[in-house]
Amino acid sequence: MKKAAFYTLGCKVNQYETEAMAEAFEKAGYTVVDFEEAADVYVINTCTVTGLSSRKSRQAIRRAKQRNGNAVVAAVGCYPQTAKEELESMPEVDIIVGTAERRRLPEYVEEFLKGNVRITAVGNIMKNRSFEDLRIEKYKGRTRAIMKVQEGCNQFCSYCIIPYARGPIRSRPAEEVISEVHKLVEAGFREVVLTGIHIASYGIDLGQIRLPDLIRMVHDVDGIERIRLGSLEPTMITKEFVAEAAGLEKLCPHYHISLQSGCDETLKRMNRKYTTAEYAKAVELLREEIPDVSVTTDVMVGFPGETDEEFETTYMFLEKIRFAKMHVFKYSPRKGTPAARHKDQVDGRVKEERSDRLIELSNRCQLEFNRNFLGRVMPVLYEQEDNDMKGWYEGLTPNYIRVLSKGDPGISGNILPTRLLEAENDFILGEI
């Protein structure tokens, strides 16, 4: 039987799309194997949000061809959509597909095998107005299900390539979402993660329905015990939204609210649509109304024109907010974006120093947040055995604290009351 292997870079949306593509290959008669194994087809689901992401995508492509020189290698997703010429210059790539038509990938492989001529399927994504029917029907190997409900972004932040890679906002029809949620319940899943490229925009293209409406509909499905949300914009966090969220017991008290900078001048140059005062108010609303809430964020360092003073302003803002965790990354110029044309690019060594300081702050804040829950008994959804600690199983509390407890394989997929005993670097040791 023919074998297909997959490699995923980037976000939760990519993870969902990879699973859907893998299922399409299984339907076409392939056995899906690990990427490190010999395979007939290698699919690299790329990312291009940073220069590092693009480089890792190229490395994965070369690694696949080295593993089996006769294999068909397909590069799909955001990187081909925005830089197909770069991929066309790589002799290792046989098939290039953007962020549409990915469901046809098995067909493209068969077409390539007949003619041995490179296939490039990258259209004008900005003209795309429909949600790609890239769905999962079989679910395996996980206790939490990632579900893509939204595609595209209309924000056009000055540093971001994603609107050009993913196109305009498209929302998955609510009835399709709910149908998949029911299938998840039947498959034994306890938690669903609603994700998208800009999930706060869900429903804008559908008419009356919006993200809060969709959350309520998922909440009403019997059998689903937890709902998580992907990254939100601070403008989404209104009094009305928080009041409703507080009343939905299945909605996990964890909110990832994108920040990018704690300095208003930097935010303006980024073309972000809020101020630090508005952001702080959003966090305050969550903490006032939702017990045990965890707030996490993304922060960028070294944006063009970011002075030492602006960075210190950001640092002080982050110190004041005390996030449960921060994802820190260094600005990377993306060709075609306004920020890439700025003359005042920040030196790489300065970016590194600023990144190191924020990572250290994030680690301190995370440890501080976790220690607040020591001695508490909290429900933990256990997923799998830890890679490094045999006999210990990892899972998540509702507010996204990673917990490791001694147990046996039977606990995977179960929500168990767990006493939180000892805070380590990025997790807590628990006792079931």
| Residue 110 pLDDT > 60 | yes
Q: Is residue 212, in this structure, part of any structural domain at all?
A: no
Residues 57-87: tens digit of each pLDDT: 999 999 999 999 999 999 999 999 999 999 9
CATH (domain of 45): 3.40.50.12160
Q: What is the pTM of this model?
A: 0.91
Q: Is residue 253, in this structure, part of any structural domain at all?
A: no
> What is the pLDDT averaged over residues 176-204?
93
Q: Is residue 9, in this structure, part of any structural domain at all?
A: yes
Query: How many distinct structural domains can be found in the chain?
Result: 2
Q: Is residue 70, in this structure, part of any structural domain at all?
A: yes
Asked which of 104, 123, 142 is the last residue of a domain, the reply is 123
pLDDT confidence tier of residue 143, bands split at 50, 70 and 90: confident
Q: Is residue 391, in this structure, part of any structural domain at all?
A: yes
Asked which of 107, 123, 139 is the last residue of a domain, the reply is 123
pLDDT confidence tier of residue 140, bands split at 50, 70 and 90: low
Q: Is residue 35, in this structure, part of any structural domain at all?
A: yes
Res 139: pLDDT: 63
Res 80: pLDDT: 93
Res 386: pLDDT: 87
For residue 399, give its domain range: 377-431
CA distance 287 to 298: 19
Distance, CA of 364 to chain centre: 24
Residues 302-329: tens digit of each pLDDT: 999 999 999 999 999 999 999 999 999 9
Q: Is residue 272, in this structure, part of any structural domain at all?
A: no
Q: Is residue 21, in this structure, part of any structural domain at all?
A: yes
Asked which of 123, 147, 162 is the last residue of a domain, the reply is 123
CA distance 147 to 13: 8
